[in-house]
Amino acid sequence: MTNEPQMGEATPGLRLHDAVLGYGRTVVSQGLTFSVPRGHFTAVIGPNGCGKSTMFGALARTRRPLAGSVTLDGRDIYATRSKLVARRTASLPQHPIVPESLRVRELVARGRHPHHSIFQQWAKGDTEIVDRAMRATGVEDLADRFLSDLSGGQQQRVWIAMIVAQETEYVLLDEPTSFLDLAHQVDLLHLCQDMRENGSTVLAVLHDINQAARYASHLVVMHEGNIVRQGAPGEVIDEALLRDVFGVDAVVEEDSQSGTPSITVRQRLGRA
């Protein structure tokens, strides 16, 4: 029997409560409260510098709040053992550090480490899970290549394969479409939808508003460190929001294929 603290159920879910977020003495968000919507693929959108990645870092346990708390089922994630948190949440930052002399399969296999113990370093079924994750992200043909020999887009897909192999309840991705060409961006967004359908709660910081509106089931809009609107894409995206938050004159129409909002920007406000 272990004496490790277990995740409780008093306050379900992954949650920021009255958090002050920032860097050193620079405060980005003040008194931010947010619960990651369970069972959704949530896209966090907003202009550059609005606090998206800062909030992501707090939820991903990489940037401790200056005040307030981040909890998972009522337990402070910064006071909980990393391995326990990693069994429930998987996260990918914008610029992960590529390990030297590590092959693709070895990195993807690291996604299984949170589920291991000192007595069992490789569990039954792990190989199948790793293979399935590499197939889902299209990197199975790269399995024996060194990460350092891959392009930025290929490396990104390998990191995402590791996240898929971790098989967690929460998946957090900060700008996961970076470095990917258009086809692989679409593949990734479909993969996020698949993870949601398979039971994971997915939160991703995205820059492309049209992609966010089309593929995510829930949008969170940030501006100047605050969440100014959230909900289903059709309820969130309108021309006033695009004007007030993003500073653009745009037309919002219904996409004929998906039925989701489609944005066409006329011009940036304040410029001819």
**Inside any domain, residue 270:** no
What is the reported pTM?
0.90
**Inside any domain, residue 245:** no
Output DSSP code: residue 19. E
Residue 33 has pLDDT above 70, yes or no: yes
Sheet of strand 201-205, all strands in order from the earlier edge strand to the far edge: 89-92, 170-174, 201-205, 41-45, 218-223, 226-231
Confidence (pLDDT) at 131: 96
Residue 87 CA to its chain's centroid (Å): 16
Average pLDDT over residues 90-100: 87
Instruction: Give the chain's domain count.
Output: 2
Q: Within this chain, do residues 64 and 185 fall inside the same structural domain, yes or no?
A: yes
Confidence (pLDDT) at 124: 78
Q: How confident is the model at residue 5 (pLDDT cuts 50, 70, 90)?
A: very low
**Inside any domain, residue 93:** no
Q: Within this chain, do residues 120 and 82 fall inside the same structural domain, yes or no?
A: no
Q: How confident is the model at residue 11 (pLDDT cuts 50, 70, 90)?
A: low
State both tokens at 223.
């501006």
